[in-house]
Amino acid sequence: MSSCKRLTGPLFPIIVFAATALIILSLSRLGLTIWEADRITESSDYLHIFLQGIRIDFATVCWLYALPALLSCLLPFNGLIGRFWKVILRIWLVVGLWILVYMELATPAFISEYDLRPNRLFIEYLIYPKEVLSMLWGGYKLELLIGFVGTITTLFLGWKLSAYTVKNIQRPKWYWMPIMFLLVALVSLLGARSTLEHRPLNPSLVAFSTTPLLNDLVLNSTYSVIFALKNMTSEKNVQAFYGKMDRQEIIDRVRASTAPKGAFISEEIPTLRVNKPSYTGKPKNLVILLQESLGARFVGAYGGLNLTPNLDKLIDESWMFSHLYATGTRSVRGIEAVVSGFSPTPSRSVVKLSKSQTNFFTIAQLLQRHNYHTQFIYGGESHFDNMKSFFLGNGFTDIFDFPRFKNPEFTGSWGASDGDLYNAAHQQFVELNSSGQPFFSLVFTSSNHTPFEYPEGKIDPEPGERQTRNNAIKYSDYALGELIKKAKKADYWKDTIFLLIADHDATAYGDVPVPVKNFHIPAVIFGGGIKAQKDDRLASNIDMPPTLLSLIGIENRSPMLGQDLSKPLDKAQQRIMLQFDKNFAYFTPEKLVVLQPQKAAIAYQYNFTNKTLSPTTLTESESKQALAHVLWGDLAYQERLYRLESQ
């Protein structure tokens, strides 16, 4: 040990405490895994839990001890400054270790109550110390004793250990210190990120199971709470933005705009209602082809650029929605809409927020109850934007992402090309269809994304630079055409309903609070039994899930606000919602009502022909209607009102 101290010099205390923390966290994970062993079905799950768990723990330790490690490379250990620094360092090391230990000691009781590691609920309870302490004293005396003993033991032994580690520390020669500093900075940065990909380590990256607790076992409880705290900062105070409204008035107004009085069947889940399917035969398969950044302005059939001949041809044969708009400007907002039918808010998409990671409605959950195989197919890494964690926690049982692609023809920055994606998807459809079990597959493209990479020889590029959005759109359309050719010849075609829809337009800009024309996206339904038609009703991507469930023959008993467009819909029932940064728009055929933070509502009339907005008058009732709908999303999320009934 003394030779190690001489070799590592001022880093010795950090190394000893980091190693101690890693051992304690691994032992805690081992105990929790043994405790929950009956829920682990595959032997490979144990390997994943422990290997990825060490990865999480190392990242946690890097975040916890990076700063004292860097300062130790710069500050002396002798003299007045050195003695002061030793005290600060010891306190940091011991308190950091205590936090890790205490959170692990608190974990079994939290799992027993919530079947998850400590998360945002742990933080929220801290707001009510009197009530929580009363609850703990009333029903958790043993746990309190364990926490108290663990705290005293950790602080006592930790302080003893810290005294030993800082004693007689020898600094290396001065010229080694900059090198040591750079090495510490590099290891800390790489360890904390734990990946060289677009996004740093997050729970979605290591998620592997549809059982949320098993995914949580990979984490440690300190990491889980800190990640929840980070997510909570993304939840905007919607009432502070736009204004307040009585809870019941919010619900009443949202219900009135959604369905006739008496259609709603629950007070516990206020928007829960039942929609009988328009198709009543054998349940069909469902495939959603979610197109990255494909605004209507790029599609010839929508009067846009002549970049999508295959989609234009498909539109001529299918059910086309000419006035359909995205709810937002991000992929996760599009996913949120087409998978859950959830209306937008100024907060981040529910795909990324903590309260919606489990028990949040998606059509995958509903279809799973009807014995569907539920699947997400993506050419990149599915942990991006927390998709994997959200999907596994809310009804998707099969994640087919980049690691499962075999020898893709072309791989770019975002993973396998759209051609490889569609080849894999087609093969999956063939295999799933042959099993006799109905399936739902969400297929998400990525080639139409910067830096616009695609394989050579598939399209005739536009003149000039090769890697442009227009060329990426042309390539993505080529790949779509190849899929459609194969699908029409396959057995699954006649038993499958397809939706092709964009997640959002490529860009949104303009000199108006909500640039409506940049929310216009293509949407077309095709497949077995779908007749060609052009639908001019005002609609949104949140109307697609109810429509699709109706077309595949599934009774829709859910909290979705979207309309079933396979049935007649009066003009008065047509309404959509758009979120543009902090601005919210409630859009009907007659008027666009815009809410801006801490400003009075304003209204426009939208010219669907030349795509322009002109100011118009606004009534108090119209303003309240818009306010109710933006507040509803926040209310439903915060109070967990957007879910299926318990079985």
Query: Parallel, antiparallel, or unpaired for β 373-378 and 576-580?
Result: unpaired
Contacts of 295 (CB under 8 A, 6+ apart): 304, 502, 504, 505, 506, 518, 520, 521
Contacts of 515 (CB under 8 A, 6+ apart): 508, 509, 580
Chain-centroid distance, C-alpha 636: 17
pLDDT of amino acid 313? 97
Span 595-618, average pLDDT: 93
pLDDT of amino acid 128? 55
Q: How far apart are CA 400 and CA 348, in angstroms?
A: 25
Quick: pLDDT tens for 586-599. 999 999 999 988 88
Span 318-334, average pLDDT: 96
pLDDT of amino acid 114? 72
Residue 48 has pLDDT above 60, yes or no: yes
Element (H, E) at 64: helix 43-72
Lowest mean pLDDT among 3-12, 61-70, 353-362, 380-389: 3-12
Q: What is the dihedral of CA 10, 13, 16, 21, to 10 degrees?
A: -130
Q: How far apart are CA 544 and CA 550, in angstroms?
A: 10
129-139 vs 141-166: helix crossing angle, rounded to 10:
110
Residue 51 has pLDDT above 70, yes or no: yes
Q: What is the CA radius of gyration of the chain?
A: 28
Q: How far apart are CA 647 and CA 642, in angstroms?
A: 15
Q: How far apart are CA 394 and CA 341, in angstroms?
A: 13
Span 358-364, average pLDDT: 97
Residue 612 has pLDDT above 60, yes or no: yes
Tell me what percent of the residues of the chain surpass a pLDDT of 90.
73
pLDDT of amino acid 390? 95
Structure tokens at 641: 């009102």
pLDDT of amino acid 134? 65
Span 553-561, average pLDDT: 97
Asked if residue 389 lies in contact with residue 203, where contact means CB atoms within 8 angstroms, the answer is: yes
Q: What is the pTM of this model?
A: 0.80
pLDDT of amino acid 5? 73
Quick: pLDDT tens for 127-154. 656 656 766 776 678 888 998 999 999 9
Q: How far apart are CA 621 and CA 328, in angstroms?
A: 25
Lowest mean pLDDT among 11-15, 560-564, 603-607: 11-15
Across the chain, mean pLDDT equals 92
Q: How far apart are CA 405 and CA 411, in angstroms?
A: 10
pLDDT of amino acid 241? 85
Q: How far apart are CA 574 and CA 567, in angstroms?
A: 13
pLDDT of amino acid 227? 86
pLDDT of amino acid 503? 97
Span 575-594, average pLDDT: 94
Q: How far apart are CA 495 and CA 497, in angstroms?
A: 7
Other Cβ atoms less than 10 A from the Cβ of 504: the count is 26
Q: How far apart are CA 239 and CA 5, in angstroms?
A: 56
Top-confidence residue, 1 or 33: 33
Other Cβ atoms less than 10 A from the Cβ of 372: the count is 24
238-566+574-638 belongs to which CATH class?
Answer: alpha beta
Top-confidence residue, 141 or 564: 564
Other Cβ atoms less than 10 A from the Cβ of 594: the count is 23
Residue 120 has pLDDT above 90, yes or no: no
Asked if residue 297 lies in contact with residue 305, where contact means CB atoms within 8 angstroms, the answer is: yes
pLDDT of amino acid 131? 54
Asked if residue 453 lies in contact with residue 297, where contact means CB atoms within 8 angstroms, the answer is: no
Element (H, E) at 86: helix 79-114
Asked if residue 358 lies in contact with residue 177, where contact means CB atoms within 8 angstroms, the answer is: no
Lowest mean pLDDT among 232-246, 397-411, 424-438: 232-246
Residue 327 has pLDDT above 60, yes or no: yes
Residue 367 has pLDDT above 80, yes or no: yes
pLDDT of amino acid 263? 95
Element (H, E) at 593: strand 592-595
Q: How confident is the model at residue 345 (pLDDT cuts 50, 70, 90)?
A: very high
Quick: pLDDT tens for 193-242. 988 877 788 888 888 886 778 888 999 999 999 988 887 776 778 988 89
pLDDT of amino acid 125? 67
One-letter identity of residue 32: L
Residue 473 has pLDDT above 80, yes or no: yes
Closest CA to 120 of 227, 6, 28: 227
Quick: pLDDT tens for 259-314. 998 999 999 999 999 999 999 999 999 999 999 999 999 999 999 999 999 999 99
Quick: pLDDT tens for 518-540. 999 999 999 988 999 999 999 99
Span 597-620, average pLDDT: 94
Contacts of 132 (CB under 8 A, 6+ apart): 125, 126
pLDDT of amino acid 419? 97
Structure tokens at 400: 């087919």
Q: How confident is the model at residue 180 (pLDDT cuts 50, 70, 90)?
A: confident
pLDDT of amino acid 234? 67
Q: Where are the domains of the chain?
A: 2-232, 238-566+574-638
Other Cβ atoms less than 10 A from the Cβ of 89: the count is 24
Asked if residue 569 lies in contact with residue 287, where contact means CB atoms within 8 angstroms, the answer is: no
Residue 416 has pLDDT above 90, yes or no: yes
DSSP string covering 289-318: EEETT--GGG-GGGTS-S--HHHHHHHHTS
